[in-house]
A and B are shown apart, each in its own frame.
Chain A
């Protein structure tokens, strides 16, 4: 290998080497961190909410006019929904995973505990909730109809029983024995007994630190004159049932407005729209950066081939084969790229530390940089291939041509 003389020659024209090296370095640093951010976003976006998203939809009902009876309307609506063809389950709920808005409270293990043990979201539901969410009960039982308390909006929730997500149960009782234990909600006594544990149910907020902590609280509690319903349909019938429900409920009670029907898939799309946009933008940045870097290498190599035509001819005259010339330019590119990549590795980790410090983002996993190394090496070799092949086709007779 001709590494030493090529390196020596490069040292005589440092500017080009440094410029392309810096470009490669910045590309590696940015691409590694951008890819990591994209992977984090994709990971977040792909987290399961714990509920059946394919067959569920939600909508609100808001009454108007004097004498509107929210409790009666809710009961009538639920009765109507549950007997409609295609509806597998329906339940009232104040919120749902991914919706972006809901209630939360601290949960303590002791009365008057100064700092709650953890926090959770509260889904105010009835005895059909587990069926409507289609979440898996891993311990205990669902709510009984008699456990559903009627509450006016603004009343303090004092449930005697609750169902928790497994993550919340484990956060409260790390030994995994949450079932049957008593907890304190918010301001303290009385206690609520955990009667059921569901495998998973996320909070409405996608960026919450305790996103997996959720609690089902049994209550009929309309939000003033508004109620939100969660409907699960038989598989494959969601869109059809959504239209039907909108018509039937509007007809059933003209003293209220039925809000827009929103599938959980749409809710998920909305919940992660910013993350998706971020991933797309970063993806475009990565592609653009790699493209610019590749073009930079192509440009530099093409310039060098044109500049060194006589030198290439001389090398050929002195015995270099076409393969030797090809190898020369590939080795030269390898050296420049390696120089850039070493610098880029330092920059990549430095950039990651800055992101950690500034935005509390996780540390860049170590394997991103070596993978980036390999990709940029390959990109460099690919980019230089065209000019190098052109160089290899320079005839040796060029050496004797007049300047």
Chain B
């Protein structure tokens, strides 16, 4: 699903170079739930940005669902991002002036789906997170946990192959966090690959596999996936740290 080999990310100013990622290699297979952990400033978010095609990298190779993304222009990256990836942000990033229906509709419109198809997908994904009855509500009328559920519905509405979650429970209390995690686990059980960036070891422990990042390098990884659900389809996992 996602393969980075010897990836480099260097931020340059005219005075200094900052190596955010160095010789970073990882392979996430389809259907996995991978937690990327590490302290602040370790490069987790840079990894997430590059993996989510939000940022470009400066060296190495990156393939997303078989596509070499190195040579893609901005439009192609936007299209690939829209089609393949769903995002869940720590601050939910819902658009406050749009109701839930329209919030979930945002990526679908950019995808170019027909109105009827969009409506069906929005209703289905809001039902999936238990908020179908609140379609006409605005984000400010919801709790944090509910807002994150809407964000998950928005991420899922376009049926992405990969879900990128950036500290998805970072702004939630423990009860709401548990609910969101259960929802993500449910989504993963249904076949969606999830990469979750978190600094919370408890949350990371719930993922099938942990990748630990320090100073822009993968320092630790688990070879084999933990199987949460014996009935779930078999999933392969492989994390390679060239320097690990």
Q: Do A and B come from one complex?
A: yes
Report which A residues bind B (CB closer than 8 A): 2, 5, 8-10, 12-13, 310-311, 314-324, 395-397, 399-400, 402-403
B145 within 8 A of A: no
> Could you tell me if A319 and B110 are in contact, using CB atoms closer than 8 angstroms?
yes
Contact of B106 among A315, A321, A323, A396 (CB under 8 A): A315
* A interface, over-half SS: helix
- Bound-state CA distance A5–B111 (Å) is 16
Which chain B positions have C-beta within 8 A of A315? 95, 106, 110
Interface residue ranges, B against A (CB under 8 Å):
45, 48-49, 52-55, 74-75, 78-79, 81-83, 87, 89-91, 93, 95-99, 102, 105-107, 109-111, 138, 154, 158, 166
CB within 8 A of A319: which of B48, B95, B107?
Answer: B107
Given contact pairs A399-B87, A400-B45, A400-B89, A317 touches B54 in the complex (Cβ within 8 A)? yes
- A400 vs B55: C-alpha distance in the bound complex, in angstroms? 11
Question: Given the complex, which residues of A lie within 8 Å of B99, measured CB to CB?
Answer: 8
The 7 closest A-B pairs by CB, nearest first: A319-B82, A9-B97, A319-B110, A318-B107, A314-B93, A397-B54, A12-B97
Known: A321-B110, A400-B89. 6 other contacts (CB 8 A): A318-B82, A395-B54, A397-B54, A397-B55, A399-B87, A400-B166
Q: How far is the CA of A8 from the CA of B48 in the complex (A)?
A: 32
Q: Hey, which chain B residues are within 8 Å of A311, CB to CB?
A: 93, 95
**In the complex, which residues of chain A have a beta carbon less than 8 angstroms from the beta carbon of B89?**
314, 399-400
A8-B102, A318-B87 are known contacts. Are A397 and B78 too (CB-CB below 8 A)? no
Whether the Cβ atoms of A400 and B97 lie closer than 8 Å is no
User: How far apart sit A321 and B112, CA to CA, in the bound complex (Å)?
Assistant: 12
In the bound complex, what is the Cα–Cα distance between A316 and B87 (angstroms)? 11
In contact, A395 and B106 (Cβ under 8 angstroms): no
CB distance from B109 to the nearest CB of A (A): 6
Max count, chain B CB within 10 A of own CB: residue among A5, A319, A323, A395? A319
Kindly provide the distance from the CB of A21 to the nearest chain B CB, expressed in whole angstroms.
Answer: 17
Q: Which residues of B contact A2 (CB under 8 A)?
A: 109
A317 engages B110 (CB within 8 Å)? no
Interchain residue pairs with CB less than 8 A apart (24)? A8-B98, A8-B102, A9-B95, A9-B102, A311-B95, A315-B95, A317-B52, A317-B54, A317-B81, A318-B110, A318-B154, A319-B82, A320-B110, A321-B75, A323-B75, A324-B78, A396-B54, A396-B55, A397-B55, A400-B48, A400-B49, A400-B54, A400-B89, A403-B91
* Most A C-beta atoms less than 10 A away, residue of B48, B83, B97, B166: B97
Choice from B79, B87, B93 contacting A310 with Cβ under 8 Å: B93
A319 contacts B98, CB within 8 Å? no
* In contact, B98 and A9 (Cβ under 8 angstroms): yes
> Hey, which chain B residues are within 8 Å of A396, CB to CB?
53-55, 78, 81
Chain B residue with Cβ nearest A403: B91
Interfacial chain B residues near A395, Cβ < 8 Å:
54-55
